[in-house]
Amino acid sequence: MSVSVITLNYNETPTTCEMLDSIRRQGYTDLEVLVVDNASRENPQRLFQEHYPEVHFIRSIANLGFAGGNNLALPVATGKYLFFLNNDTELAPDCIQRMVDFMESHPETGLLSPLICYFPDQQLQDSCSLPLIQYAGMTPVTPITGRNEIIGARTRDRGQYAHARTTAYAHGAAMMIPRKVLDQVGAMWEGYFLYYEELDWAERIRKAGYEVWVEPRAKIWHKESYTLDKMGTTKIFYMARNRVLFMRRQRPGLGLWGFYGYLSLILVPINTTRMLLAGQWTQMRAFWRGVWSGLTTKLSGI
The Cα 250–Cα 38 span in angstroms is 28
The Cα 52–Cα 21 span in angstroms is 9
Are 106 and 236 contacting, i.e. CB atoms less than 8 angstroms apart?
A: no
254 pLDDT band, cuts 50/70/90, is: confident
Are 71 and 3 contacting, i.e. CB atoms less than 8 angstroms apart?
A: no
- Domain range summary for the chain, segments of one domain joined by +: 3-226, 233-296
Q: Render pLDDT for 173-197 as a digit per residue (tens, 0 to 9).
A: 999 999 999 999 999 999 999 999 9
Q: Render pLDDT for 54-70 as a digit per residue (tens, 0 to 9).
A: 999 999 999 999 999 99
Residue 189: how many other CB atoms lie within 10 Å: 21
**DSSP annotation string for 201-228:** HHHHHHHTT-EEEEEEEEEEEE-GGGT-
The class level of CATH for 3-226 reads alpha beta
Are 232 and 195 contacting, i.e. CB atoms less than 8 angstroms apart?
A: no
pTM above 0.75, yes or no: yes
Backbone angles phi, psi at 70, to 5 degrees: -65, -40
pLDDT of residue 182: 99
- Distance from the first to the final alpha carbon of the chain: 27
The Cα 123–Cα 71 span in angstroms is 31
Q: Which secondary structure element, helix H or strand E, spans residue 3, and what is its range? A: strand 3-9
Tell me which residue of 96, 113, 90, 121 sits closest to 19, measured CA to CA.
90
Mean pLDDT of 103-127: 84
pLDDT of residue 225: 56
Using DSSP, state whether 156 is helix, strand or coil: strand
Q: Render pLDDT for 203-216 as a digit per residue (tens, 0 to 9).
A: 999 999 999 999 99
pLDDT at 125 over 50: no
Are 297 and 241 contacting, i.e. CB atoms less than 8 angstroms apart?
A: yes
Mean pLDDT of 96-103: 98
